[in-house]
Structure 1
Amino acid sequence: MKKQLSVLLIALLAVTYFSYGQSNNADKKFGINWSGFVKTDFMYDTRQVVNAREGHFNILPAAENLVGGEDLNDQSNFNILSIQTRLKAAISGPDFFGMKTSGAIEAAFFGNSDASVGELRLRHAFVQLSNDKIEILMGQYWHPMFVTAVFPGTYSFNTGVPFQPFSRNPQLRITTKGNVKFIGVLFTERDFQTRGASVSKSGIPQFHAQLQFGKASETLGGLGFNVKSSRPNLGDDNLTSTAFIGYFRTKLGNATWKAEAIYGENMTDLLQIGGFGTATNGDFVNNNTLSLWTEFSGDFSETMEWGLFGGYTENGGFGEAITYVNGFLGTVENAYRIAPRIGWKSGALTIGVEGEFTNAQYGSIDGNGDITSSTDAVNNFRLLTTAIYKF
């Protein structure tokens, strides 16, 4: 860890020195703008949860774990973590055949697994070309179904998962400009991958097409379609999975209203419940998932902000008998969450409090490939207090 931080520090100093030296040359027009934040979260859960990074990334309350008639997961948990702390370098440079160029490198101390908590993890790394009609992005950036103009503003790092799609992907993205935008993306998978199958080994990149209407500062909406080919094992046929998204945001007086609906197959790479299974004839079969969320947010004053998030997701099953399942929380029949928040802000510092009530109904897969309730629903209430210092 010390060696890694030393290398990072040396690299930052070198790049900063280089950027200052080059920015004095008007012909180069090169520079780096540093930004980021320091964030500390205090988290209390009334129940054990399905999570990542020592509970920091909360997903759903854990299913019952009955031993001697006692549910061992019905126990509270508390933690304090600062691993979401983030650093970003926004890079500007000379034109490329008349197109403006820019780039970004962003990392956090979230680690790539529970074993590497506190170590640097690459979030975004891309170069962008732009003119008055089009933008071209090449590199690692948000999955196109994580819409940067319409996503939950929760203090929790889960950002609405598993009701909101969440992933970052290496990609080639083309976006037209104007009040009606077309977004086309070819991409593969890296940190968030399809459970039990490989997109890279299918030989076909994922493809996404989206139309977006309006302006984020006023009223904005959009519709998108995603298609993915993945290969469970070398020698197997590819499994094709599709997904659809619809979303909007608008102003209601001093408040902002956002809403989104997602319906798709085998969306474990987006941290959605479900997956795919093996049918009795040996074919691979997609699992269907529906997710919905909405959020209202605004400011009480210049120094106080508020928000209310609500989400629901439902497992649609497989539609036929299954002998084996690859998935993420594939036996969750449905789940919902209500999360109010309030924050106090002054200058670069925000202190926020968020309550997050989540209910999950676990079940089992019946002979028709449907998910049916087999246990009692479980609940968790997370109380989160956060301090965010932006720079």
Structure 2
Amino acid sequence: MKKLILLLAGICMTFQATAQKKNFTYKFYGFVRGDLFYNTRANMAPVDGNFYLYPLDKKPDADGKDLNAGPNGSFYTFTSRLGVDVTGPNIGTARSSAKIEVDFGGFSSSTTMLRIRQAYVALDWEKSQVLIGQTWHPLFGSVCPDILNLSTGAPFQPFNREPQIRYQYKAGKVKLTASALWQLQYLSSGPNGMSEEYIKNSCVPEFYVGADYASADGWLAGGGVHLISLKPRTSSLWNEKTYKVNERMTTLSYEAHVKYTGRNFAFAAKSLMASCLDHTALIGGYGISSINPDNGEQEYTPFRHSTSWVNFTYGTKWKGHFFAGYTKNLGTTDALASATKYGMGLDIDQVFSTNIAFSYNLPHWQIGVEYMPTTAWYGDTDRASGKVVNTHSVTNHRILGLVMYYF
């Protein structure tokens, strides 16, 4: 850790020494963040429990006692962040810029480690922009919840940063977006677990097209369409023989969003018809719809999920936050030919969560507390429809304390 601190200090001193270069400007930013949390049961919560999603199903022991019913909690600061924005020089009529942003949320076997959050270059003209590099997925977009939890509304709000080529065009109050994206840190599921190989072997990136309308009185509204095309396997082991296969799973998702920002009050909402968006921290995935009896080649069918959330905030110095999210499994397009499924939360019929938080905000400071009950209904998958039946519910109560210092 001492070596890392010395490295970051050296980088900062280097930038300061060169920041006076003609036509360049540098702006450092970041925060120190501490999260203290408590849960009443075990949860699906990556990043060592800090990125909270939903409660895990009951797991009975030999006496029928639920192994997942025990409480847990901890305190972490590894989501503290450091970034630098660079502008200039101009290239023709285009303004050039770049961003590098890191935190300590990458994990080794025993400790946290530095990871890239965002790293991109951009060219801006009067009405258009081209961005190349890693930044927020367009499904995360310009409308996201204002809450304290690190998951920022997941698994109801998409959460993902990916390498991409993005083009945006502004025509008056309308902004159009088109993106081609590749996976790196947030990965789709498949036969070999979570891996980038499915989209790498596909040779087809994710695509997104969308539009936003921003009014002068604080309203923002828009929507978009997302395409993903995966190759789950390139070979099949069938009847003790290996065959080369040509498999592909392609599907579309749709989203709509709205936001209002007033002087002391803000409202935001988003709704998705989501399909195979488990790599964006949403519940989803796909199953097997048919198997070729000659060589074991498989066809796939996506699970469809309806996902929506609303968020209200009031106040500035003292701020109240309210969030509610709901996800429903709508089943698969085709019947399932196998019990094998790839994705996250596919044995869940529905999830409902609320979030009540209060924060105290000063220049460079935020201190807050949050209460978040979440209920998930687990059950059995009906292979004819892909829906979850014979459900039972489990509930987790999460309490979070947050301290942040911005710079």
What are the within-5 Å matches in structure 2 for residues 229-308 of structure 1? 229-234=229-234, 235-251=245-261, 254-281=264-291, 282-299=298-315, 302-308=316-322
For the structure 1 residues 181 and 201, does the alpha-carbon distance in structure 2 shift closer, same or farther, using more than 3 Å as the test?
A: same
1:170 matches 2:163: yes
The one-letter code sitting in structure 2 at the alignment partner of 1:240 is T
1:103 matches 2:103: no
Retained in 2: the 8 A contact 1:105–1:126? yes
1:51 matches 2:65: no
Structure 1 stretches lacking a partner, 5+ long:
23-27
What are the within-5 Å matches in structure 2 for residues 312-351 of structure 1? 312-318=326-332, 319-323=334-338, 324-351=340-367
- Cα deviation, 1:63-96, whole Å, max 9, x if unaligned, reads 1011111111111111001111001101111101
Q: Distance in 2 between matches of 1:314 and 1:114?
A: 34
The one-letter code sitting in structure 2 at the alignment partner of 1:82 is T
What are the within-5 Å matches in structure 2 for residues 1-391 of structure 1? 1-20=1-20, 22=21, 28-67=22-61, 68-111=63-106, 113=107, 115=109, 117-147=111-141, 149-177=142-170, 178-196=172-190, 198-215=198-215, 218-234=218-234, 235-251=245-261, 254-281=264-291, 282-299=298-315, 302-318=316-332, 319-323=334-338, 324-391=340-407
Retained in 2: the 8 A contact 1:308–1:341? yes
The one-letter code sitting in structure 2 at the alignment partner of 1:320 is A
The one-letter code sitting in structure 1 at the alignment partner of 2:17 is Y
Q: Distance in 2 between matches of 1:351 and 1:191?
A: 30
Q: CA deviation at 1:217?
A: 6.8
Retained in 2: the 8 A contact 1:110–1:120? yes
Retained in 2: the 8 A contact 1:348–1:389? yes
Retained in 1: the 8 A contact 2:274–2:284? no
- Cα deviation, 1:222-264, whole Å, max 9, x if unaligned, reads 0100111111012432211211010001246731111100112
The one-letter code sitting in structure 1 at the alignment partner of 2:336 is A
Q: Distance in 1 between matches of 2:26 and 2:267?
A: 34
Retained in 2: the 8 A contact 1:93–1:102? yes
Retained in 2: the 8 A contact 1:363–1:371? no
Retained in 2: the 8 A contact 1:54–1:114? no
- Cα deviation, 1:24-61, whole Å, max 9, x if unaligned, reads xxxx3112110011110110111111111221111111
Q: Distance in 2 between matches of 1:274 and 1:219?
A: 31
The one-letter code sitting in structure 2 at the alignment partner of 1:108 is D
- Cα deviation, 1:154-202, whole Å, max 9, x if unaligned, reads 1110101100011101011111123011101111111111111611210
Match of 1:25? none
Retained in 2: the 8 A contact 1:334–1:360? yes
Aligned positions, number: 381
Q: Distance in 1 between matches of 2:366 and 2:86?
A: 27
The one-letter code sitting in structure 1 at the alignment partner of 2:89 is P
Retained in 2: the 8 A contact 1:83–1:117? no
Q: CA deviation at 1:289?
A: 1.2
Match of 2:242? none
Q: Distance in 1 between matches of 2:95 and 2:46?
A: 39
For the structure 1 residues 285 and 213, does the alpha-carbon distance in structure 2 shift closer, same or farther, using more than 3 Å as the test?
A: same
For the structure 1 residues 123 and 216, does the alpha-carbon distance in structure 2 shift closer, same or farther, using more than 3 Å as the test?
A: farther
Q: CA deviation at 1:6?
A: 4.0
Q: CA RMSD in A?
A: 1.8
For the structure 1 residues 220 and 357, does the alpha-carbon distance in structure 2 shift closer, same or farther, using more than 3 Å as the test?
A: same
For the structure 1 residues 317 and 35, does the alpha-carbon distance in structure 2 shift closer, same or farther, using more than 3 Å as the test?
A: same
For the structure 1 residues 70 and 312, does the alpha-carbon distance in structure 2 shift closer, same or farther, using more than 3 Å as the test?
A: same
Retained in 2: the 8 A contact 1:53–1:114? no
Q: Distance in 2 between matches of 1:280 and 1:74?
A: 38
For the structure 1 residues 203 and 108, does the alpha-carbon distance in structure 2 shift closer, same or farther, using more than 3 Å as the test?
A: same
Retained in 1: the 8 A contact 2:218–2:262? no
The one-letter code sitting in structure 1 at the alignment partner of 2:174 is V
- Cα deviation, 1:315-338, whole Å, max 9, x if unaligned, reads 122241241211111111110110
Local SS of the residue matching 1:83: coil
For the structure 1 residues 175 and 70, does the alpha-carbon distance in structure 2 shift closer, same or farther, using more than 3 Å as the test?
A: same
Retained in 1: the 8 A contact 2:104–2:115? yes
Local SS of the residue matching 2:52: strand
- Normalised to the residue count of structure 1, the TM-score between the two structures is 0.93
For the structure 1 residues 312 and 322, does the alpha-carbon distance in structure 2 shift closer, same or farther, using more than 3 Å as the test?
A: farther
